[in-house]
Chain A
C-alpha cells in the first residue's frame, strides 16, 4: 500500500502529499532553468501555452474516446501529425496524465506511458517551435523517478505548430544526478 496520499489542487496548481505542500516537477524545473522564458513576452507565453494545452487535452480526449473540443485547422494539423507518429512508430497508449510522487519530496503529472515498438516508454508532448532536450531530460527523468517504474526509453512527442511531428528520444538523468538535485532542494527548504 502506498503510504503517501497525493492531492492536486487545480485552482492553485499545487500538490499535497499527506496534506503537506510539495514542489511540483514544473517548479523544480523552474529552479533548474530560471531563465528559460526570461526574454519571452508574457502574451506570447500565454498564447503558446494555450496552444499546447488544447493539443494535450484533445489527444487525451481522443485516447479516451470522448472528444468535446473543437480544433481549428492549425490545431487539426498538429493532431494529424500525432496520428501519423502513432502509426509510424506503433505507439500504443497505456496511461495518460498520471499523478506521481517521490515520497513527500515532490510530485507531478506525466503525459503518457506507452508501448512504442514493443518497449515501455514515458513520453511528454511538446508543441514548442524548438525542443529543449536538456529540460526534457530532467522533466522525464523526474517523472520516471517518482513513478517508481523503469522505462525502456524516454521520448518527446514533438508536435511543433505548422510543422511535421517527430518522436525524439530523450537521454535520462542518472539516479546520482537526481538525488543530488533533490538533496539541494531539501537543503534549501531547511534554510
Chain B
C-alpha cells in the first residue's frame, strides 16, 4: 500500500507529460472503440475530462452506460462521441481514479475525475491466481514496479527494506553478494531457516537475488496463514511472490534505464599509531613474561630506543584493503509490445560492480523473455524464460563454511602491525597456538583466501489456459528450473587450511577446492477455476479453484579438492592449472531427491462486496518424511467485513472512503530440512588423517530420525484497512498471533555418538502488531508531497523445547575460547546472548598487597576472583561480576543472558515530493531495541593468547590501564599505579583469552536515511523534439547517514549464520559503503 503515493505521483507525471504508455493505451482504445462505434440514430456530444487539479486527462475512457459505445480522450483531454439519441448516462473512467457516471444533458459534457487513492482495484498476487486488493481477506503487503523503479538497486530485496510492515530485511554485511536475511513476522523456527518461500512467476526458487529488479512487476508478501495456506507445507515463514513484467498490447516500446554509482567505505575504526603500538607491545611483553622484555627486544629493539617509533610511517590497512572507490554500472534494456492476440516482452540487464574491498567484484547478466498468445477464443498459451549469469570475484571478509575463524579477513586489517617489522612475519609464529599466530599481512591474507563464484540459473515455463466453458478455466503449467553454481576456492600459504588439512607432503602448498553444485527442479501444476457468476444473483460472488502440483528437485555436488599445488601459484593460476597439484578427493555426491506432491483448493465468496469469506485447503506429501508422516494438511479460513459498505455508515461517506475489518485463522507448514533424514545412511568420505587409508565409511554425523513430521504454524490475524478524507489518509493496522508447533530443530546431541539430530520438538510463538500509513499531504498540479510509513512490532517467545528447558549455542568466532555465547531457553527467544557481566576493572584498592616472591597480587577478601576467566590478576585487569552465591570466584556459572538480538520494532518511512519537473524522495528505515554482539570489539581490544597484535583506539594510551613506569619497568607499587591511572578509564587489554561480557553487547538501534533521491524529468516540449517519450535523470545517495549509538562499523549486521541460533554477531563483516548514484530512465 505504501507504493500508492508513488504510483499516483507517477500517474500525475503521465497525465502531465504525456507518457508514452499512455499514448499506447490511447491508440489502442481508439482502435477498439472505433470498431465498436455503431452508426445508428445518433447525436454528437463532446467534452473535456480533467482531474481535480484541473489538468486534462489523456486516454480516459468515455462509454455510454450499458453499451459498448465509447471513446477515449485525446491528448488535450477532449473527446467527441456519437451517441444514440436515447443515451442517458456516460461512464467516464481512468486507471487510478474514481469512475464517474454523468448524465447526458446537452452536447458539451465536462467531467472532473478524482483520485482513487485506495487503489482498491489494484491486483494482488495471492498464489495460483490474483485478487483485487479490495477482495482480500488475508494479510498481504505489496510493492509495485513503480516503487522499485524509483530507487536504483542491484538486488530486488534491497528495495523492500523498510517498505513493508512486518517484513524485516537485514543486509548481513556490505559485500556485493551479501546474504539478505528476510523475516516475515519474526519466523517461527528455532534452528531452522526462517526464510520465506520465494515464488517467481509461480515457480518456487531458493533466492531472488539473481533476478534483475527492473524485471519485476510486483512483489507481494503473504503474511498470514489464510494467504499462505495455499502454499501449505512451505508457507509457514511467509511467502514472497514475485511477478515479472509481461508484454503489453501496443506498439513496440523500448525502455532504457541506467545508473552508475561510486562508493566508499562508510566507516572506519581507528587503530593505535606507531608509537602507541610499540609502547603497548613493550608493556605486553613485560606482562606476559614476568617483567622480561626479550620478546619485545627480539623484534622492536631496546626500550630506550622506543622513541624511534614516534615518526615511523604506518600503513593504514583498512584503507589499503577496503579503501578503494567502488564503482557500479547497471543498465537495463527492455522491449515490450504486442497485439490483442499476442504479447511479448524481452529484457536484458547487466550489473557490473567493483566493490570497495580489494579483489572483490560482482557481475550479473539477466535475459528474460515472455510470450503470451491467444491461440483461439478459449485457449491462451504463455511462455516465459529467464536466464541469469552471476560472477562474484573475491573471497569476501568472512565465510560461513570456514575451516577456522582464523581465516576471517577483516581482523587482519585491524590487528596487523601498523609498520613492517623485520622478522615478525607469519612464519615467525605460524602455528595457531603460539603468541604470534595468525598475524598475516592483510593483503596477502586476502589473495590467499581468494574465491570465484559463477552462478547460472535458467528457468523455462509454459502454460496453457483453456476456458472449457464460460467462466470455467483449466490451466496447466509445466516449468523447469536449473541452477548451477561453480565455486572455486583458493587456499594460499597463510591459510589455516593448508597448514592443517592436507596430508603432510602437501602441507604448505596452495590448495584449491572446486565445487560444482547443480540443482534442477521440475514443476507441474494444474488448476481449475470456476466463477459461479452465472449461477448466482448479482449480489453474490463465488469463485472456486482446485489444483494439483508436483515438484521434483534433484541436486548434487561435484567437489574436487586439489592439494599440493606449486608454491608461488596464485589463485588464478591454481584454478587454471589444477593438474600441477594432487587430487586429494573427488567427491560426486547426489542428494536424495526432494519431492512434493500437493492438492489444494480455494473458495472466495462475497456478498455485495460487503461480506467476504475465503477458505483454503492444501494437502502436501513430502519425500522428506517417512510413510505415515508424509502428508500434511493445511486448512485456513478468513472473513472480512466492509463496514463502510453498510447503509448505517452512509453518514460518514464524506470523510470515510473505506473501512474493512479482516479476520483470519489458518495453518501452514514447514519441511525445510535436508532430504534423507529418515534412515541412517552410510557415507564414504575422504581422509588425510589415517595412515594407509584415503577414505572411510561412516554414518553421517547427523543422526537419522524416522519419526520426523511436519512443522506447523497456526496463524491468527486481525486487520483493519481504512481510507479517509477522500483518500488523503489511508492505511492498515494488523495484529497477529502465530504459534509454531512440532518445530523441526537440528538438535545438538553431543556426546551420544552423533553431533545432532533433526527433531520435532517444542513450540514458539510470535505475536505482533503492524501499522502502515500513507498520507497525501499536498496534491496540487505542480506540487505534491506525501508521506508513508510502517512499523512492525514482533515478540518472539519459545513456549517449549520439548524434552529440555534450555540449551546453549556457540557462535564460534573465537574458536573454542568463548564457547557457549547464546542461550536458547523456554520463555526466552532465539537470539539471547549469554555471557559475563562486566564490572569494569580491578582497581588498586581491590588488592591487599603484591607478593614479590610469588610475583602475584593478592585480592582483598570479598573481591570476586575472575582469574579463571581473565588469567592472572593484577590491578587494571578486566573485572567480572560474581553472580553465584556461596563462592567468590567468577567461573562459567556466573554467566547470564546479557543481550537480545530481537528488535522491539522495525520499520521505515518514506517522503516523496515533487515540484514542477523535479521529484525528491527520501527513504528511512530503522530497527529499535535490538542488541549487537560486537565480537570485533572484543577481538580488537583483548590480547587473548596472542602477542604483537594491534588494537583499536578504544584501548589507546591514556584510555587503557597502564602498568608501565616511565623508566620502562612494570610498576607493582599501589600508589604509583593509582597515580599512573588517575585518568585512564579502560582495563588492561592483557588477558588470557577473549571474554564475552555485556560490555561487548551494544544497542543496535539505528535510523538510516537509506536513500535520498532527486530526479528531474525533461519537459515534454524538449522531448518531443528528440522523439523521446520520457526522460528522467536522477541522483541518489545511498546510506546517506545513520543515527546509532553502535560503536562498530554498522549495526545492520549478522555474520555468524551457520546456525540460526546466533543472530546479531558482528564479526569480520565486510564493511558497508556509502554510495552516490547517477542514473537515467529513458523511454521511446
Q: Tell me whether A and B are bound partners.
A: no
Chain B residues engaging chain A, CB cutoff 8 angstroms:
none
